[in-house]
Every structure is written in structure tokens, then in C-alpha cells.
Amino acid sequence: MSVVLNGHTYSLAVLSGTDGRDYARPEPFTASGATLWDMFFTDLVAHLVSATSIDGISPGALYGFLRSTGSAWARVSGITPSTDLNAAVGYAKGGTGLTALGSALQVLRTNAGANAVEWGTPAGTKYALLNGNTADTLTANTWVKRTITTEVYDPDGIVSIASSQFTLQAGTYLVQAHAANSANASGSQSIFQLRLRNTTDSTTDGSGISEQSVYPTGLAASGFVTSMMAVISPAGEKIYEIDHYSGNAAGVGGHSNAGGETMHYVHILILKIA
């Protein structure tokens, strides 16, 4: 068969392959030494799976290359498919540089050094819930440490508790605490507030909204929940506690009921956001 290109006629030889299909092979263009195939694909790379020669040029080792320059074939050094062809493609070439999948629900992200791609767990998916089931006595005009009894939920192990305190590692966290309270003496009133106390550094790293409870003479005391919220970024391991303040008069950290269920007087939610 033949084709006409720019006024010149070129012939194509039809070859029968071992797989039963026919292939069109361009014959040499003797005027310039190029082939019709070269003229259409001037940057074609032919991957040879055996040390075959083309136009008298051998690719050398197995898996060598013959590369078209547009006018002639040139030999390119061989490669090893098991390493070179399976190597990870870096981000500069549009890849990730990774050779394996991450864990379930992880996402691709830039690493902390901003120089590579990595698998990571999205921030905000790690959280812990702590609670306390003791109605602590709140001494007047004193910060009292609230009792933390149970680590209810912490699948990623971001916190540990001991002696009604909790330990966090380096990172950024949103800490939210709620604690029950009420005035504890007839005819008195108390003003309550929570704080997040960093006992490692002896600093207050967060404080909450102040609330007032009144215990009128001959009536029941008003009880409610005091709350606080803070974002903290410890640079290393730190120990924290939730302290409760009862101003003016003594208070009580909650009241029990006859419902039969476990009583909770303190809830602490810790969300790791970075």
C-alpha cells in the first residue's frame, strides 16, 4: 500500500505478526534517511523486549531503547522494568512519590516540611470524651479541682487520665468542659466559673463564663451547668485539670436524682485539630 505526503508517494509494507494481526511498517525514505513513521512521530521511543536491531542498530541489553531523532534511530541505554518502570513518580512529575496505600480513611497531604506528599489522618477526626461522677464540694472563694473519673471514648489515644488530671502531647486541641454546680447554703448566693489549668507550667490556659446560683431562704437552690472552652497548643507533653470556683459562698458540684442511672457531674470533650 502507499500514501501521498507533501506530493511524495511512500509505500508501506504489510507484515503479519505472530499474534495473527497485520501491521503496517513504513519503508525507509531514502532521500533523507527518515521513515514515514519518523515523520509522524519525531520523538517516538521504541521499547524492545529483546535485543533486536532496527536498521542495523542494536539496542544493546535487554529492554534497551531505540529513539527516533526524526532522521535516524539512536540507541539509548537499557533499563530494568522491575525497578525503573515500577519506581514511584515524584510530585514534581505529577505523582506522589508513594509506593503504598495509607490506612483506612487517611488522605493525601503535604508533609510538615512542605517537601513531600504523605498519607495522614485529617485533623479534627481525633477526639476524646472524659467524665466525672463525683459531686465535689466547692469551697468558697477557692479553685477546686473537679473529679475526672472515666475516659469514655479515646480510640486514637490522644489523652490519658490520672488523679483527676489529663495529659496531652504536642499539638493543637479544642477543650470544652461542662460541670454542674449550685449554691449550697440557704439564704446564700454563689458565682461559679471553670478554668483549664496547666499544672505542668502553672498557667491558666482557658477560662469559662461566670454563672450565679441563688439559694433563697425556705426555697430550693437554683442549679445549672457552668461551661468553658479553649484552644490550646502545647509544644510538648502537658498535664491539665478542670478547676471550679465558687465565689461569695460555698457551693456543690451537682445533685443526684432517683432515676437510677449513673450520675455525671463533669463532661470534658477534647478535639485534636492539628
Give pLDDT tens digits for 239-257.
Answer: 999 999 988 877 777 776 7
Contact 226, 242 (CB under 8 A): no
Distance (Å, whole) CA 122 – CA 107? 7
- The tens digit of pLDDT for each residue in 177-215 reads 999 888 776 667 788 899 999 999 999 999 999 887 776
Of residues 198, 164, 184, 154, the one with CA closest to residue 251: 184
Beta strands at 251-252 and 137-138: parallel, antiparallel or unpaired: antiparallel
- The tens digit of pLDDT for each residue in 208-238 reads 998 877 767 766 666 788 999 999 999 999 9
State the pTM of this model.
0.58
Instruction: Indicate the residue type of 188.
Output: S
Distance (Å, whole) CA 234 – CA 125? 19
Contact 89, 95 (CB under 8 A): yes
Contact 165, 148 (CB under 8 A): yes
CA 95 vs CA 4, 92, 121: distances in Å: 42, 7, 20
- The tens digit of pLDDT for each residue in 51-89 reads 444 454 454 444 455 555 555 655 555 555 555 556 677
For 165-201, the DSSP string reads EEEE-SS-EEEEEEEEEEE-STTEEEEEEEEEEETTT
At 164 the pLDDT is 97
Exposure letters 115-136 (e unless 16+ CB within 10 A, then b) = eebbeebeeeebbbebbbebbb
Phi, psi of 39, deg, nearest 5: -70, -30
CATH topology of domain 126-272: Jelly Rolls (2.60.120)
Of residues 161, 151, 158, 162, the one with CA closest to residue 174: 158
Output 121 or 120, whichever has higher pLDDT: 120
CA 83 vs CA 51, 79, 88, 97, 179: distances in Å: 19, 8, 9, 14, 61
Contact 133, 254 (CB under 8 A): no
Distance (Å, whole) CA 231 – CA 240? 13
Question: CA angle, 77 as apex, 71 and 80 as ends, to 5°?
Answer: 130
Of residues 60, 69, 59, 9, the one with CA closest to residue 34: 69
* pLDDT of 9 over the 60 cut: no
Of residues 97, 90, 32, 42, the one with CA closest to residue 70: 42
Of residues 38, 75, 40, the one with CA closest to residue 56: 75
**pLDDT class for 159, splitting at 50, 70, 90?**
very high
Which residue ranges make up each domain of the chain? 2-82, 88-120, 126-272
Output 112 or 14, whichever has higher pLDDT: 112
